[in-house]
């Protein structure tokens, strides 16, 4: 098994929770001694600007992987998926939320994702903005499959409530200057601003505040709803800003296990656990599918993914790798209930449903889950 997750690039700040969760899951599967052992290789995804993934994915394929966790960015997965399919690699992303993947051509049943389509997150955020009595909205978004898909979903939902998107401004991955985008939004004087970005928000946020746009009217997404309490990350207060992110509230024992694993490897503490549950579940589901198929061949594992996730087969519910593996070894069919929520796959490799959390920023730029 390999992972292609961001150690560098615009999503690097989201790398630690996913890398830590994958490492923990690999360790726990191997320690369970149920009949499957994972030989794990990690590689850096970078982003579509740095293109670190080009070297990394070649390294992973050369290592003979048959299953991959990643990529994190929808834009990167679109660039590597054909090659993975051709190599027979089962690819499971913990964070590809572009709506395009539901009917993406050429998947051949070898692509799954444990995160939901942005159609759902966009609906939740668009409705939240409307429920907060905003009538006009400006959107700054990243010009890639993730950004365009989520921005379109937010706009569609918000305008269906009677609101109006009065300004839109895009930027490209790798851009470092955002003055013109902020000026475009400010000129339209919207009631609220949605920002669909990765760590570019560290620059965009202060520009918006300094332009006179109130932080209480900012709406963020999974790519940028993180802890900004370190003043090196955010020089202004985001008090009152809100953001959405897929995933239920995580159990303390899970976050403690992830933290213990990661710091035990000599790393600093994980500050946010964004997509940690989805990454952990990706490893568990691939492992269960291999155990059920009695094979580590990509297409054989893929054929069992929907079944072990509870998406088909009327399996017995189980909430850990150990419990689900016992069901398989006893001749039964498991239905894994993971930390990421509703992980049961449909026939297209998407989870049947999902929980979308809503968060609000405090004066010190930490945030609190409100729903």
Structure confidence at residue 341 as a pLDDT band (50, 70, 90): confident
Structure tokens at 282: 């990706």
Q: Is the peptide bond before 71 cis (omega within 30 degrees of 0)?
A: yes
Which H/E stretch holds residue 136?
Answer: strand 136-142
Cα–Cα distance for residue pair 60/42, rounded to 1 Å: 8
The per-residue pLDDT for 352 is 86
Structure confidence at residue 259 as a pLDDT band (50, 70, 90): very high
Cα–Cα distance for residue pair 306/111, rounded to 1 Å: 11
For 309-333, what is each residue's pLDDT tens digit? 999 989 999 999 999 999 999 999 9
Q: What does the pLDDT average to over 47-71? A: 97
The per-residue pLDDT for 330 is 98
Cα–Cα distance for residue pair 34/324, rounded to 1 Å: 10
Cα–Cα distance for residue pair 121/318, rounded to 1 Å: 27
Cα–Cα distance for residue pair 355/51, rounded to 1 Å: 32
Cα–Cα distance for residue pair 130/161, rounded to 1 Å: 7
Distances (CA, A) of 205 to 201, 214, 360: 5, 10, 15
Q: Is the pLDDT of residue 90 over 80?
A: yes
CATH class of this structure's domain 2-116+252-336: alpha beta
DSSP 96-133: ---GGGGG-TT-TT-EEESS--HHHHHHHHHHHHHHTT
CATH code of 119-245, in short, is: 3.40.50.2300
Q: What does the pLDDT average to over 227-235? A: 94
Domain extents in the chain: 2-116+252-336, 119-245
Q: What does the pLDDT average to over 127-146? A: 97
Domains 2-116+252-336 and 119-245 share a fold: yes
Of 273, 274, 280, 340, which Cα lies nearest the Cα of 310?
A: 340
């Amino acid at each position: 098994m390999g992972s292609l997750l961001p150690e560098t690039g615009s999503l690097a700040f989201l790398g630690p929770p996913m890398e830590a969760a994958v490492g923990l899951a690999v360790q726990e599967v191997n320690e369970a001694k149920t009949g499957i052992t994972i030989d794990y290789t990690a590689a850096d995804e970078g982003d579509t600007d740095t293109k670190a993934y080009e070297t990394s994915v070649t390294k992973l394929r050369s290592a003979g992987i048959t299953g991959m966790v990643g990529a994190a960015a929808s834009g990167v997965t679109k660039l590597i998926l054909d090659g993975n399919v051709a190599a027979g690699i089962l690819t499971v992303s913990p964070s590809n939320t572009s709506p395009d993947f539901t009917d993406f051509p050429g998947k051949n049943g070898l692509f799954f994702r444990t995160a939901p389509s942005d159609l759902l997150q966009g609906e939740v955020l668009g409705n939240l903005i409307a429920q907060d009595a905003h009538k006009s909205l400006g959107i700054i978004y990243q010009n890639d499959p993730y950004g365009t898909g989520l921005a379109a979903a937010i706009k569609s939902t918000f305008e269906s409530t009677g609101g109006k998107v009065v300004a839109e401004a895009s930027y490209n991955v790798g851009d470092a200057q955002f003055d013109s985008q902020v000026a475009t939004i400010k000129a339209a004087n919207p009631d609220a601003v949605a920002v669909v970005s990765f760590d570019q928000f560290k620059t965009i946020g202060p520009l918006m505040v300094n332009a006179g746009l109130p932080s209480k009217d900012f709406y963020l997404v999974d790519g940028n709803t993180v802890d900004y309490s370190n003043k090196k990350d955010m020089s202004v207060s985001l008090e009152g800003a809100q953001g959405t992110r897929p995933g239920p509230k995580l159990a303390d024992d899970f976050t403690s296990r992830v933290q213990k694993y990661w710091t035990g490897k000599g790393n600093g503490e994980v500050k946010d656990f964004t997509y940690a549950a989805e990454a952990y579940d990706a490893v568990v589901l691939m492992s269960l599918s291999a155990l059920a198929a009695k094979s580590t061949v990509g297409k054989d594992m893929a054929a069992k993914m929907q079944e072990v996730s509870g998406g088909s087969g009327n399996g017995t519910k189980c909430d850990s790798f150990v419990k689900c593996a016992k069901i398989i070894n006893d001749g039964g069919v498991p239905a894994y209930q993971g930390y990421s929520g509703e992980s049961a796959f449909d026939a297209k490799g998407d989870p049947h449903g999902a929980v979308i959390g809503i968060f609000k920023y405090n004066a010190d730029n930490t945030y609190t889950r409100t729903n």
